[in-house]
């Protein structure tokens, strides 16, 4: 009888574990890294803004390695960023080894964000670091080390996020950098909460900054902001994504601004950009109000053949979902998508659409963390908030999931990178928590059959799934989320394989390759012209 009771309990426990969409892989002993925001008691604004995390296959061994961005204090004795090699290929199981010094990495700046791309088209992924002052480009030396270069025309700009994106269809990825506000130790005003206690200021206490753009000329990044963006305003930019929002064959930029209207830069056939935020519908919400935009996610959530955009916001504001109604005109559909009231109590940062159950509808994840203390206390513990998962449905409505262990664990979450860390056919997450340890969340989808694709050169490639469900747009990009670099590989599970016939790759409106939707149960390299 005891044995039967034990088996029943074991079966119930197994079912309970499987019911969770994610399981936490990490504890603080796995990565010997703890983010340090430099908390000084002076309420320096950068303390609550970072940091991000990057996923990058730096050695081309087929698995994702991890770059953890460190912030530090303001006395020039910060701890280094840390780099961890994924030993999945070597050991056959998920584990990591810290190799920062082996790769000659030493970012001495106060770190905020990270971006990843093959800048010089040599087949090796490179790294760009968004810092409080001097940004850095780390060129990959064929998986053996990184060569560091300072990359800032103005070291006084505080950059937060960035996007590598080919804007003129020359095959090289250019770089757009979102810059935040004009803060310094000497420009750190005193702000107070409702209980007259000292607290962190917000962006309205500072002047915004102009974003920066670098044109990639045959592998060399050259600052060309004024030429391509002659009307660039001073704005508190926190994030940027690259998408062709009007399907004209040229990549555009959407910038998330903190408390100011979001910016939309429409590409004029690679010659220059014009601002189109208000006309596109992405600048403000349905009430005509600018919100404190931070995280960004882009996907075709309603499977209608165009990209939609989601922003995370400050508490007492809802996160906002914008549906693309065609040709780059967007409508705020937050309320009818059932995404409004659940986010009022939280401040959202990193976010993305990924599949957590075996259907064809992308689900939504939001990581939260406050930017101000409670009325009773401004200790950092009061900044901790739970995270959120929303399941998408065929009606394009989202159901909030709350009763899972990983959702209940509170932290001051900021950046998160999304990718298949254990190469099992689903998208996992590594989360960067302010002033705390990172977390790896492994996706429990575990599809029996799946198709994985790595595009050798994804510059300005339009990716469509075609079949009985019509046409659905797919992104292969590392930007979005918040201050982090995602896995650019594509992965499709059982339901997608059964619902769509092929993957169609196009460039400048011309189909250049078609891939059948057949299971490989591994990632295959697809070479493009």
DSSP state of 46: G
- Whether residue 17 is predicted with pLDDT greater than 50 in this model: the reply is no
Q: How confident is the model at residue 7, as a pLDDT?
A: 46
Strand partners, 239: 256
Band of the pLDDT at 28, cuts 50, 70, 90?
low
In this prediction, residues 155-183 reach a mean pLDDT of: 96
In this prediction, residues 232-237 reach a mean pLDDT of: 98
Q: How confident is the model at residue 2, as a pLDDT?
A: 44
Residues 136-152: pLDDT tens digits? 999 999 999 999 999 87
> What's the helix, strand, coil split of the chain in %, to 5?
10, 35, 55
DSSP state of 209: B
The Cα 333–Cα 263 span in angstroms is 19
| CA separation, residue 158 to residues 78, 85, 104, 140, 152 (Å) | 17, 29, 25, 25, 10
Residues 295-341: pLDDT tens digits? 999 999 999 999 999 999 999 999 999 999 988 899 999 999 999 99
Residue 258, token pair as written in the block:
């903190």
Band of the pLDDT at 493, cuts 50, 70, 90?
very high
In this prediction, residues 244-248 reach a mean pLDDT of: 91
- Whether residue 29 is predicted with pLDDT greater than 70 in this model: the reply is no
Looking at per-residue confidence, does 379 or 70 come out higher?
A: 70
Residue-range domains of the chain with CATH: 22-526 (2.130.10.10)
Residues 269-278: pLDDT tens digits? 999 999 999 9
Among 12-16, 46-50, 158-162, 410-414, where is mean pLDDT lowest? Answer: 12-16
51 upstream amide cis, omega within 30 of 0: yes
Residues 85-106: pLDDT tens digits? 999 999 999 999 999 999 999 8
- Whether residue 256 is predicted with pLDDT greater than 90 in this model: the reply is yes
| CA separation, residue 308 to residues 33, 122, 179, 288, 335 (Å) | 35, 32, 24, 19, 15
DSSP per-residue letters across 421-465: TT-SSS-EEEEEETTS--EEEEE----SS-EEEEES--TT-EEEE
């Amino acid at each position: 009888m005891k044995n039967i009771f034990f088996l029943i309990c074991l079966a119930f426990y197994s079912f309970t574990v499987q019911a969770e969409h994610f399981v936490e892989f990490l504890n603080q002993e796995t990565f010997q890294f703890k983010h340090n925001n430099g908390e000084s008691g002076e309420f320096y604004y950068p303390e609550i803004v970072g940091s991000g995390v990057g996923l990058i296959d730096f050695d081309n061994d087929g698995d994702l390695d991890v770059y953890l961005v460190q912030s530090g204090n303001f006395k020039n004795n910060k701890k280094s960023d840390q780099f961890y090699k994924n030993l999945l290929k070597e050991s056959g199981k998920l584990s990591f080894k810290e190799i920062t010094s082996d790769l000659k990495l030493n970012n001495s700046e106060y770190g905020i964000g990270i971006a990843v791309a093959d800048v010089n088209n040599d087949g090796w992924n490179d790294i760009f670091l968004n810092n409080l002052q001097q940004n850095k480009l780390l060129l990959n030396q064929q998986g053996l080390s990184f060569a560091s270069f300072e990359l800032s025309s103005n070291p006084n700009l505080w950059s937060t996020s960035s996007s590598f994106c080919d804007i003129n269809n020359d095959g090289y990825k250019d770089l757009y950098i979102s810059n935040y506000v004009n803060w310094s130790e000497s420009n750190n005003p005193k702000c107070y909460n409702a209980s007259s206690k000292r607290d962190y200021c917000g962006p309205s206490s500072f002047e915004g900054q102009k974003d920066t753009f670098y044109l990639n000329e045959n592998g060399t990044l050259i600052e060309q902001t004024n030429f391509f963006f002659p009307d660039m305003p001073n704005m508190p930019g926190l994030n940027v994504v690259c998408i062709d929002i009007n399907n004209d064959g040229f990549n555009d930029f959407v910038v998330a601004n903190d408390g100011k209207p979001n910016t939309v830069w429409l590409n004029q056939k690679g010659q220059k950009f014009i601002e189109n935020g208000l006309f596109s519908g992405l600048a403000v919400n349905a009430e005509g109000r600018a919100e404190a935009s931070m995280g960004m996610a882009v996907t075709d959530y309603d499977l209608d053949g165009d990209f939609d955009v989601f922003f995370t916001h400050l508490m007492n504001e809802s996160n906002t979902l914008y549906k693309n109604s065609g040709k780059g005109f967007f409508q705020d559909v937050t309320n009818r998508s059932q995404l409004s009231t659940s986010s009022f109590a939280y401040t959202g940062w990193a976010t993305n659409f990924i599949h957590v159950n075996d259907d064809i509808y992308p689900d939504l994840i939001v990581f939260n963390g406050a930017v101000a203390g409670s009325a009773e206390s401004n200790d950092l513990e009061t900044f901790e908030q739970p995270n959120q998962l929303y399941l998408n449905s065929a009606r394009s409505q989202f159901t909030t999931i709350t009763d899972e262990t990983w959702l209940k664990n509170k932290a001051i979450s900021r950046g998160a990178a999304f990718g298949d860390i254990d190469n099992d056919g689903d998208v996992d997450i590594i989360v960067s928590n302010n002033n705390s340890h990172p977390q790896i969340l492994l996706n429990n989808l575990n599809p029996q059959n799946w198709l994985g694709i790595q595009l050798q050169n994804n510059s300005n490639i339009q990716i469509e799934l075609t079949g009985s469900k019509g046409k659905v747009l797919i992104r292969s990009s590392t930007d979005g989320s918040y201050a982090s670099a995602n896995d650019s590989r594509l992965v499709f599970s059982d339901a997608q394989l059964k619902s769509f016939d092929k993957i169609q790759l196009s460039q400048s409106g011309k189909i250049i390759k078609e891939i059948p939707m057949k299971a490989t149960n591994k990632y295959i390299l697809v070479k493009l012209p």
